[in-house]
Chain A
Amino acid sequence: MLKIQPTVISAVHVSAWYGSHRAVQDISLDVARGHVMALIGPSGCGKSTFLRCINRMHEEIDHTRVEGKVLYRGEDIYGTDVDPVAVRSCIGMVFQKPNPFPTMSVGENVITGLKLRGGYSRSEMEGRMEEALRRAALWDEVKNKLRAPGTSLSGGQQQRLCIARALAVQPEVLLMDEPTSALDPISTGRIEELMTELKKSVTIIIVTHNMQQAARISDQTAFFLMGRLIEKGATEQIFNAPTKEETENYISGRFG
């Protein structure tokens, strides 16, 4: 069985509820290793909720429910004997608003995942910290202020710090929920560059409202509307020759 790009994440008929409201309806989607998958669609279309189903963060909100399967390397993460904690350490997440831990320094923020997990020596953690910060393209800017509070950095730096924090635990998949929507264009550009670099080692699924961003950085794009997956395919095809009318309307800016 020789595949060049095996599937890492495979959602099978996933539905998600908030109380009785079904925000995500029967979505099936495959993500190949080393790809960037962009989820686009108007606000409230369920793309963030779907993203949160992929590492079992959706269930952290009260009165929510998920149905269907999400296969990670062929194993259902909603299986009865699967620990959500283990899922999340393989499938990391970066949030919309930069959220460094306010009581921790830059360095502590990066290694806190390892430190609280335990079993890592000091030198090991320091090595991982530098590696993660380098991968997040932040090392040169913060190497002299690792002891400064994480919140003292600029917004763009804070978001890269959050990326470094997620990378330090070495996840195989990184979920990004509108990671640049709170940032200025220059910081956004840096994070986009970073993503193109990162996809050599990590599979990325990103929710974005910025269609140019999706077009620039993603290999695959999925278009969501009212909780349904309308169309998915190679990014070029979705943007240049969408097959569905709704997709074309959305991409050409006729709504949303």
Chain B
Amino acid sequence: MFDSRSKDHAPEPPPAFAGPVKLPSIQRRRHFKSLLANVILITLAGMAILPLIFVFTYITSAGLPALNLDLFYRLPAPPGETGGGMANAIVGSLVMVVLSSLMAMPTGLLCGLYVAEFPHQRLARILRFIIDLMTGIPSIVIGLFAYATLVVPLGGFSAWAGSAALAVIMLPIVSRTTEEILRLIPAQLREAGLALGLPRWKVLVRMIMRAGRSAIATGVFLAIARAAGETAPLLFTSFNNQYWNTGLREPVASLPVQIYTYAISPYEEWHRLAWAGSLILVSVVFAINLICRLVLKRQTK
């Protein structure tokens, strides 16, 4: 149809090139504005990324020389001696992160589910407000709170108290992510489940949670990454330990606190270890973030 017409109306030959076309002034002004906006945005984005790049390169350059296998399987050496590692701190961090996840994940998921599914209930609104507030509590305050409510009554620093403090930090992150993801899941999915004659809780848990599981998992892992790097809540709760952790009711070493201890010490050797520890910690957190994003990207394709 278009072919037959083009015979009658042959397209006009393009005009001979006559130098750059002069745009009307209003268009030139728009071009300029658009260019300016682009430059500003790119500059601001660059400024936002720069600190990350600086921190990462600095830690790498300072930590890499001190990085060796000893770090991963030896105990800290007494001051004055060279060598030594932070194996107990790595294990301690791992144990406490796992414990705190076990505490924060079920509660956070349930809170998020409740707030997302019953947004009009009074209790849900209150809960949502509290969770928002929790996100803003400084972590040192959470540490003090855990000290007053767990460490003092239980009679000493312990891995339990540290894990509980970390769980308080993770809970609002898990809950908010769950809530936001569940809100994104189309209402038709819920209706489809209900229309099959399924009870509401089964639709929620087996269908809606399932549809959002990869995104929710991302939120959980981000919360874990955040908790793994926290120092302040652990200072008054799990404290520190120069030896292998003997039990969950004992003081436990952790990577962030170990780094802190090394960094404020007067010994050159310990400073090097602090940098190496920082590099390990930052790499782990970075890796968790990166893996989450890659997994999510693949799932949403």
Contact = CB atoms under 8 A, between A and B. Distances in A.
B211 A95 contact: no
B211 A101 contact: yes
B42 to A, nearest CB: 37
Given A103-B210, A103-B211, A116-B202, A88 B191 contact: no
Given A89-B196, A116-B206, 12 more contacts: A57-B194, A60-B190, A60-B191, A62-B120, A85-B199, A88-B194, A88-B195, A101-B192, A101-B207, A113-B197, A117-B197, A165-B192
Interface string B104-121: 000000000000000010
Given A99-B188, A116-B206, A166 B196 contact: yes
Interface string B192-230: 111111111010001100110100000000000000000
Given A101-B207, A103-B211, A116-B206, A169 B196 contact: yes
A162 B194 CA distance: 13
A97 B293 CA distance: 31
Nearest to B185: A102
Which of B188, B189, B194, B200 has most A Cβ within 10 Å? Answer: B194
A92 B211 contact: no
26 contacts: A57-B194, A60-B190, A60-B191, A60-B194, A85-B199, A86-B197, A87-B197, A88-B194, A88-B195, A89-B196, A89-B197, A90-B197, A92-B197, A93-B191, A93-B195, A95-B191, A95-B195, A97-B188, A99-B186, A99-B192, A102-B211, A112-B207, A116-B206, A116-B207, A117-B198, A166-B196
A55 interface: yes
Question: 5 shortest A-B CB distances, which residue pairs?
Answer: A89-B197, A113-B196, A93-B195, A88-B197, A99-B188
A95 to B, nearest CB: 6
B192 A92 contact: no
Given A62-B120, A116-B206, A57 B191 contact: yes
Interface string B127-170: 00000000000000000000000000000000000000000000
Contacts of A165: 192, 196
A171 B195 CA distance: 11
B272 to A, nearest CB: 49
Interface of B: 120, 186, 188-200, 202, 206-207, 210-211, 213
Given A57-B191, A99-B189, A116 B211 contact: no
Contacts of B207: 101, 112, 116
Contact of A57 (B189, B195, B200): B195
Interface core residue of B193, B197, B210, B213 (most chain A CB under 10 Å): B197
Interface residues of A, number: 27
A102 B189 CA distance: 9
A107 B297 CA distance: 26
Chain B contact residues, majority secondary structure: helix
A173 B131 CA distance: 44
A211 B290 CA distance: 54
Interface string A151-168: 000000000001001100
Contacts of B120: 62
A174 to B, nearest CB: 10
Interface string A56-82: 010010100000000000000000000
Contacts of A86: 197
Contacts of A166: 195-196
A97 B187 CA distance: 12
Contacts of B213: 103
A61 to B, nearest CB: 9
Contacts of B190: 60
Contacts of A95: 188, 191-192, 195
Contacts of B192: 95, 99, 101, 162, 165
B215 to A, nearest CB: 12
Contact of B197 (A60, A85, A99, A102): A85
Contacts of B199: 85
A85 B198 contact: yes
A117 B193 CA distance: 11
Contacts of A171: 197
A169 B197 contact: yes
A171 B198 CA distance: 13
A102 B199 CA distance: 20
Contact of B198 (A90, A97, A103, A116): A116
Nearest to B200: A85
Contacts of A90: 197
Contacts of A89: 196-197
Contact of B195 (A55, A101, A103): A55
B23 to A, nearest CB: 45
Interface string A38-64: 000000000000000001010010100
A90 B199 CA distance: 14
A162 B101 CA distance: 38
B120 to A, nearest CB: 6
